[in-house]
Homo-oligomer: A and B are copies of this chain.
Amino acid sequence: MSGNTLGKLFCITNFGESHGPAIGAVVDGCPAGMELTEADIQAELDRRRPGTSRHVTQRQEADQVEILSGVYQGVTTGAPIGLLIRNTDARSKDYSNIEDTFRPGHADYTYWNKYGVRDPRGGGRSSARLTAPTVAGGAIAKKWLARQYGVRVRGYMSQLGPIHIPFESWDEVGNNPFYAPNAGIVAQLEEYMDQLRRDGDSIGARIEVVAEGVPAGWGEPLYDRLDADIAHAMMGLNAVKGVSMGAGFESIAQRGSEHGDEITPEGFASNNAGGVLGGISSSQPITVSLAIKPTSSIRIERRSVDRQGNPVQVQTLGRHDPCVGIRATPIAESLLAIVLMDHALRQRALKGA
């Protein structure tokens, strides 16, 4: 329970640093008897992988996963699933000058204050690279949820900086590097990103994640509500500054006669709740929105201090994503899947003989 484990009955313990020898995870609590191969996990890792378009970091990592345990003859045994991903494009350059400086917006300052020591290579433990083990664990949860309950977890980008992206079709999401559900807007997004790169700047984004097929009854109020655990997982993702369910911040200006979803014999008439009532799933789609801040690593010079408190100018020239939101969709899906599987198991404990 020292901070690197997510989930209770189904849980993932994450380890590794951006430029250490390897990253990975131990996934515990997956019931026995599910077919699982490295290919199942690799497919999700490939969706998150860097270097797949010019709009993301150019670091070249195969992100090849090895299953170390928990699977025998292609089937889960109930034992913990050890997952290993070797870092192959770690750069052994000189970090001594970075080590002494706190980059604005980064975790440098807080890691230094908390631990008194820090691995500066590529952000060390605070790097977005550590979302890869999360995605690997999420792949297992996604597969289990689909097979056991027919649950489908998907996501898309709904806003890139100032550009709102109208939802057209799930079919488009996989056809562009932005996870945009709208083919017509892709050219505009590419142009925006190209200009941003020329400016040496970065930008925020908004991501939507949806889980369909979740039965009513998942979530453990008073405190471990389903939406509370979703918020915990999502706000724990690098760069996320806001999380909302259903109508989210729109609810503030809504009246009760507008917000409360009416129920008819055919089902709910709307979904302002985002699929959760009183912290428990209602059988409607679970809908989550994430606000993702712009990447802190930019070419533009910024003011900061060094460890001694002297003023310095900081400019980040290395490989980085100009919009971390672009690769956030598969990660957010993974986090939602992990939380849902955990709550599915918790509800199974309480129900049935």
Q: Contact partner of A119 among B5, B68, B72, B250, CB < 8 A? A: B72
Chain B residues within 8 Å of A110, by CB: 216-217, 219, 276-282
- Interface residue stretch chosen among A42-50, A54-62, A170-178, A229-237: A229-237
CA distance A121 to B210 in the complex (A): 33
Q: How many copies does the complex hold?
A: 4
Answer yes or no: A52 CB below 8 A from chain B CBs.
Answer: no
| A236 contact set on B, CB distance < 8 A | 221-225, 227-228, 231, 279
Query: Taking each of A15, A304, A352, which has the highest tally of chain B beta carbons within 10 Å of its own beta carbon?
Result: A15
**Min distance, Cβ A346 to any Cβ of chain B, angstroms:** 7
Within 8 A of B (CB), among A88-127: 102, 104-107, 109-111, 113-119, 121, 124-126
Q: Which of B24, B81, B204 contacts A254 (CB 8 A)?
A: B204
Q: Are the CB atoms of B265 and A311 closer together than 8 Å?
A: yes
Interface size class of A (residues with CB under 8 A): 35 or more
What chain B residues lie within 8 Å of A184 (beta carbons)? none
Query: Would you call A188 an interface residue if the criterion is a C-beta within 8 Å of the partner chain's C-beta atoms?
Result: no
Q: Which of A84, A222, A295 has the most CB of B within 10 A?
A: A222
How far apart sit A111 and B225, CA to CA, in the bound complex (Å)?
12
The answer to the question of A155 belonging to the interface, with a C-beta cut-off of 8 Å to chain B, is no
Residues of B close to A247: CB separation below 8 A: 241, 293
Interface residues of A in 209-257 (CB under 8 A from B): 216-225, 227-236, 238, 241-257
Top 8 A-B residue pairs of the complex, sorted by shortest distance between their CB atoms: A107-B278, A3-B220, A105-B260, A242-B244, A228-B236, A202-B256, A232-B232, A2-B29
